[in-house]
Amino acid sequence: MNAPQDSAAGNCDTVELALGGMTCAACAARIEKQLNKLPGVEAAVNFAAERAHVRYAPGDVDVERLIATVVKTGFTADISTADTRSEEKARKLAIYHDELRRFWISAALTLPLVAQMAFMFGADTHDDVLPRWLQLLLATPVQFWIGWRFYVGGFNAIRGGAGNMDVLVALGTSMAWAYSVVVTAWNLHHQHVYFEASATVITLVLLGKILEARAKAGTSAAIEALAKLQPQTARIERRIGDITELVDVPVATLIPGDVFVVRAGEAMPVDGAVIEGASSADEAMLTGESLPVAKAAGDKVFAATINGDGLLRCRATGVGSHTLLAGIIRLVEQAQGSKAPVQRLADRVAAIFVPVVVAIALATFIAWWALAGDFTQAMVNAVAVLVIACPCALGLATPTAIMVGTGQGARAGVLIRNAVALELAQKLKVLVVDKTGTLTEGRPVVTDIVKVGAGDTATLLRLAASLEQGSAHPLAAAIVARAKTDGLALAVPQNVVATAGRGLAGEVDGRRVQLGSVTWMQEQGHAAAGAEALAQAGRSVVAVVADDVLLGVIGIADPLRATSRAAVARLDRLGVEVVMLTGDNAGTARAVAHEAGIELFEAEVLPGDKAAAVNKLKGAGRLVGMAGDGINDAPALAAADVSFAMAAGSDVAMQAADITLMRDDLGSVADAISLSRATLAKIRQNLFFAFIYNVLGIPLAALGMLNPVIAGAAMAASSVSVVSNSLLLRRWQPNKD
């Protein structure tokens, strides 16, 4: 594989190609091989989804060359986008109906041939119920009209230097048909004809493909369900002269800044911010959370979520492909198109499968003819080997399970970025969690203001809040909010300097002010009286110093999420040890860990040191996951084997983490691990079925224990059974292990 040379610099583009003409895993392997031969290209082909996800360096190749390469390989390719998805679906539906029509014609022509077989059972005769010339007339259209697709596909495969299912079917049925033609033309009454075998095999393969297509459609049901959620029209404000009117327009025409109105019970057309009104929104389709979320002026709303019983007036902020819903769909599609490491074995087998099967069929033919002296039986057994050895089931085993699993995850608010993360999540033994916003609510409030000396609490709070105005830290927001609640007039700070993980320093009203952790202040010679008692009570403590004099400390509480303790217990039952890392003091960390049921924790860990702590845990040979907000914990998330971003609605988090949890609930991590284990269990089952089918089927056919008709039926059934087994993943539910 030629990985893009400039990927490190981020100078790579990606494109999703919709593929056509693939019949088995060998086809997907051949397309992938040819694309990866191109300079600067990294491609992954998903046989089940009929997609190719391609990363390429624009300076080396372009999309036109990628498409041309696929076409040259013997298949069709088009750029797949949200705009073309409906066109692709319509095209596939038309193909499906054409295939269905051909199947019924094939079945009608084949049925008389099969019927005569029933009359002949037990009869020791070569006489036929139907004249052989009539059998020839019935079988030939099936062989060369209905079955023409196998000849075209087989020719393209051989031209590309490989083989596929089409080669096996075309070879097997052609041998049976040609032999029967010779017997008929030379009027060899002492020999059987096998027109019914060639026609029935083609009919059964076609039926299998139809059933497989229907089953595969179910694997992408989650994506289609998400895409259908967004309404087609929006009610927006339009100024006509001096009058502002409400006008219904297509959602596709909205631009950022448009003001739209959503009535009770209607779906949000795009992402936006509430300007006016109060209501609630059902965001279950995005987060998996059934409880409605209150909405008021300033709150965010998301496309496809359902407005409650109030009228909302909103300003559009994200439209088209920039909505949260569109981001979720892209993420799920990306995951469905990726490959799990477990699939590598299947890919290697599929690449050499067809040549090996052809060799086995040839050996079977020679052995039977040489040892038994029966040309007819040798030919029949060779045909059976060719027909039963279809690698379709092998190619469908992994991608169909991944497609269903990631779709179920999306419905539950668990967005899995790639199949590698899905596979690794099942093996996690340690989960590192941040405290603020992960275990706790992430909305801290000031609970205590303890002054030292002769100063007053109002001055202490005003100085601290004035300095914290420019900080995005949750504790800073709590201090500023308390000052505003108390009606304090804040000053504009000057010369503010932040020390990561420590605190702030600056000038407020001409006074030199410092605030930060108790440890930092102690290092500078300021003993914070009363801090220990607050810390033991589970408070985060901020010390405030002005003009080198300690004014006092502020105690801030961030309540534990109601679900955190249950989530930690659930992870423990799954065999995952939870470790808490926090920059807070030891007393606060101990109190929160105890309340959450966590035994191992580290306090006063600087942001830059969290990654080192994760690597230390990995050094014990265990797979380590990290759950954080996806932004502040970026180094630790990157260091973990699997990263979980608990940041609903954050595009940054969705791009930073392996798995994004749309609900800020640690229980979603347990859901992700549970889903991973369920999906990998299905993949292992599918691979077992696919391998055991060929391991047992090919020898039985070679030994003459399977005729071509039964082999054709078994081949069709194998693919359908694998896909159907994957569809059982739709029974998976969150909060259940």
Cα dihedral sign, 211-215-220-225: positive
The two beta strands, 271-276 and 293-295, are unpaired
Q: Could you write out the DSSP letters of every residue in 688-707? A: HHHHHHHHHHHHHHHTT-S-
Angle between helices 221-229 and 195-219 (to 10 degrees): 40
To the query of whether residue 6 is one of the catalytic residues in this protein, the response is no
Question: In the chain, what's the furthest Cα-to-Cα distance?
Answer: 120
Classify 642 as helix, strand or coil.
Answer: strand
Q: Which candidate, 500, 482, 501, 499, places its Cα nearest to that of 490?
A: 482
Fill in the DSSP letter of residue 44.
Answer: E
User: Are 286 and 240 contacting, i.e. CB atoms less than 8 angstroms apart?
Assistant: no
Instruction: Using the structure block, give the residue that is written with the tokens 């496309």.
Output: 303
Token duo for residue 336: 């469905």
Residues forming beta bridges with residue 45, ordered by sequence position: 52
Per-residue 3-state assignment (H helix, E strand, C coil) for 377-410: HHHHHHHHHHHHCCCHHHHHHHHHHHHHHHHHHH
The two beta strands, 511-516 and 306-307, are unpaired
Q: Give the active site residue among 166, 347, 434, 558.
A: 434
Q: Cα 426 to chain center, whole Å?
A: 15
C-beta contacts of 366-369 below 8 A and 24+ residues apart:
368/704
Which residues are CB-contacts of 360 (< 8 A; sequence separation ≥ 6)? 385, 389, 698, 702
User: Are 602 and 581 contacting, i.e. CB atoms less than 8 angstroms apart?
Assistant: yes
User: Are 435 and 475 contacting, i.e. CB atoms less than 8 angstroms apart?
Assistant: no
Cα–Cα dist 698/238, whole Å: 70
Q: Which residues of 107-127 are buried (b: 16+ CB within 10 A; e: fewer)?
A: bebbeebeebeeeeeeeeeee
What are the phi and psi torsion angles at 661 (to 5°)? -105, 115
CA distances from 326 to 83, 227, 663 (A): 12, 8, 18
Cα–Cα dist 297/299, whole Å: 6
The C-alpha angle 680, 686, 687, rounded to 5 degrees, equals 90
User: Are 36 and 61 contacting, i.e. CB atoms less than 8 angstroms apart?
Assistant: no
Tell me the HSE value of 72 on the side-chain side, using a 13 A CA sphere: 11
Q: Which candidate, 509, 522, 518, 557, places its Cα nearest to that of 537?
A: 557
Catalytic residues: 434
